[in-house]
């Protein structure tokens, strides 16, 4: 959960400045969310292509009792494999509108079910686009509109694509500049953090690793302490920024 930064960037030039001066993945995230919120976007998702990278969704709530905030949650990576939006976004240079997917390709039954569910949840439509980084550090970014609107101009689409690309490249630079050793996580703590980032509960992690739930609870508390965070999503964000979540997960269930 993140409070709205009223002083966040409002222009593409402002985003460039904010991203360049961000010294952590969490601060970079705040820059991007503030920029998008100012453009009438209330949903942002990020799904990295690198093995072990999580899929995270951020949704803006302007009517919360604690004031305007972005709420975060992990997305089901297995479910995302049924998403024709992501597949199309990876094949195109320009963003794809969610409502155009069914008219663009012939959908399987599972894909059609996925798209109908997506449009029910987000009837104001949105776009998905691919950003590129060094090596395999690409990702698909989804942007949902807060209200119904006319189709964006090519220039506006290019600006959204540019903004996502700027933020992604800055994230890659931050990840390269920080050693995983900086946080002092043990190999077991890194392993648990990787499973947290895939959305697994402590109970499921205990089953996967063959240890007790109490042991996992203890490890998670140590991870939070070392990363100086209070929740699982922020831990994953910080782990991403430190390059802790880039190792392949072999045999992931």
- Tell me the per-residue pLDDT of 76-131, one tens digit each, with 9 for 90 and over: 777 888 899 999 999 999 999 999 999 999 999 999 999 999 999 999 999 999 99
Which pLDDT value is given to residue 7?
64
Which pLDDT belongs to residue 181? 59
DSSP 116-180: HHHHHH-TT-EEEEEE--STT--EEEEEEESS--PPPPHHHHHHHHHHHHHHHHHHHHHHHHS-G
Residue 148 predicted with pLDDT over 50: yes
Return the structure tokens found at 132.
């590129």
Asked if residues 176 and 194 have their Cβ atoms less than 8 Å apart, the reply is no
User: What is the value of pTM for the model shown?
Assistant: 0.80
The model's confidence at residue 26, banded by pLDDT at 50, 70 and 90, is confident
Lowest mean pLDDT among 145-159, 203-217, 231-245: 231-245
pLDDT of the residue at 51: 65
* CA pair distance 193, 234, nearest whole angstrom: 11
């Amino acid at each position: 959960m993140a409070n709205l930064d009223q002083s966040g960037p409002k222009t593409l030039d402002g985003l460039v400045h904010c991203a360049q001066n961000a010294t952590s993945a969490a601060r970079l995230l705040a820059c991007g969310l503030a920029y998008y919120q100012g453009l009438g976007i209330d949903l942002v998702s990020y799904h990295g292509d690198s093995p072990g990278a999580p899929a995270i969704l951020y949704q803006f709530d302007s009517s919360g009792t604690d004031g305007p905030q972005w709420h975060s949650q992990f997305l089901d990576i297995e479910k995302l494999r049924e998403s024709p939006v992501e597949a199309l976004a990876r094949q195109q240079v320009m963003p794809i509108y969610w409502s155009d997917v069914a008219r663009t390709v012939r959908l399987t039954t599972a894909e059609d079910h996925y798209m109908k569910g997506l449009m029910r949840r987000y009837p104001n439509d949105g776009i998905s686009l691919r950003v590129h980084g060094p090596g395999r550090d690409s990702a698909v970014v989804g942007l949902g509109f807060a209200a119904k609107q006319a189709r964006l101009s090519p220039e506006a689409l290019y600006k959204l694509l540019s903004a996502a690309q700027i933020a992604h490249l800055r994230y890659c630079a931050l990840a390269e500049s920080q050693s995983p050793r900086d946080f002092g996580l043990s190999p077991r703590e890194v392993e648990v953090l990787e499973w947290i980032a895939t959305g697994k509960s402590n109970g499921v992690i205990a089953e996967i690793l063959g240890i007790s739930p109490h042991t996992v609870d203890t490890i998670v508390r140590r991870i939070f302490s070392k990363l100086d965070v209070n929740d699982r999503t922020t831990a994953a964000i910080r782990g991403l920024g430190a390059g802790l979540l880039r190792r392949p997960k072999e045999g992931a269930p």
